[in-house]
Chain A
Amino acid sequence: MANLAQQVIDDVEAVFTNTDDFGVSITYARGANSTAAFSAIVSSSVFETSTEFGIKRVETRDYSFKPSRLVISSTLTLPQRGDKVTEGSRVYLVTEPSGQPCYTYDDENRAMIRVHTVLKTDA
């Protein structure tokens, strides 16, 4: 029988991974191939980088979802730089906006994967 801590974790995880109720619909693409639409939980921010030459404003958006959703051309895969996430009319590019890998896991059990993107086009 699970101890109290494990029961709490089990109860919370159901909420934590509930992308269907708390997420947005996206499709994930690599080259010409893409996943079916699925739900992902979103967090976003905007930052500016400045150099001697000028300033760039970048909208970043992180998508969290179950790793099992990432099936492209019948193959389970992991995010790669240059992949694209489409959310409505917006296209986001998978990259490493803060110098970190392009994806991380949200939890130690790897139940949720978090993909880092920047806004590429806003049609």
Chain B
Amino acid sequence: MSTLTEIAEAVKTQLNSITWSPTFTATRMNIPRHSRDSLSTLQVTVTPRSRTVTPVTRGKVFENVEIYIGIEKGLDGDTNTESDALIDLGEDIARYFENGRSLTTFAGAPCVGVTFGNGDGSPWMSVKDQNETLVYTGVIVLEFQALRNAN
């Protein structure tokens, strides 16, 4: 199994080991795909994004892996009440992974970066989705780093 898949799976497992508010069961999908009507239920999707290897010494490399966590939920209207709770959830998840959080089922690769929306295709809230289909979409980007022997 690739490192990307292993870490994405570990993130999914870790998310599902915790009781969040609102509650959800995270799934891992390489290409997140949902129908609007399925979003009546909160969907949290873990998706591998990228893997980057950087030399550190002659014999060691840093392996950095980025993972998306998508939060998607159909809304009933444009008031802030519904989306506030989802933004809170996104921030709760982001805070959980801050400060070098390690994954229980993938040790040795602490989380070294957390972004809840960066305005570069990974929004904390997608205006387009809300405007056209009344769906909240927020994305968290996690970066994990492992020190490995060079090949």
A: residues with CB less than 8 A from B are 49, 51-59, 81-82, 93, 95-99, 118-122
Contacts and interface: CB of A to CB of B under 8 A. Distances in A.
A57 B132 CA distance: 12
Contacts of A96: 131-132
Interface string B20-43: 000000000101111111011000
Contacts of A95: 132-134
Of A56, A96, A119, most buried by chain B (CB within 10 Å of CB) is: A56
B35 A120 contact: no
Contacts of A122: 37
20 contacts: A51-B121, A52-B121, A53-B47, A53-B137, A54-B32, A54-B45, A55-B31, A56-B34, A56-B35, A59-B36, A82-B78, A95-B132, A95-B133, A98-B132, A118-B36, A118-B133, A119-B35, A119-B37, A120-B36, A121-B37
Pairs A-B, 4 closest by C-beta atoms: A54-B32, A82-B77, A52-B121, A57-B35
Given A54-B33, A56-B39, 19 more contacts: A49-B128, A49-B129, A49-B133, A51-B128, A53-B137, A53-B139, A54-B32, A56-B33, A56-B72, A56-B133, A56-B135, A57-B34, A58-B35, A58-B132, A81-B134, A119-B35, A119-B36, A120-B37, A120-B40
B67 to A, nearest CB: 12
Contacts of A121: 37, 40
B33 A55 contact: yes
Contacts of B129: 49, 56
A81 B32 contact: no
B76 interface: yes
A53 B34 CA distance: 11
B46 to A, nearest CB: 12
Nearest to A93: B134
Interface in B133-149: 133-135, 137, 139
Interface string B65-93: 00010101010111000000000000000
A72 to B, nearest CB: 16
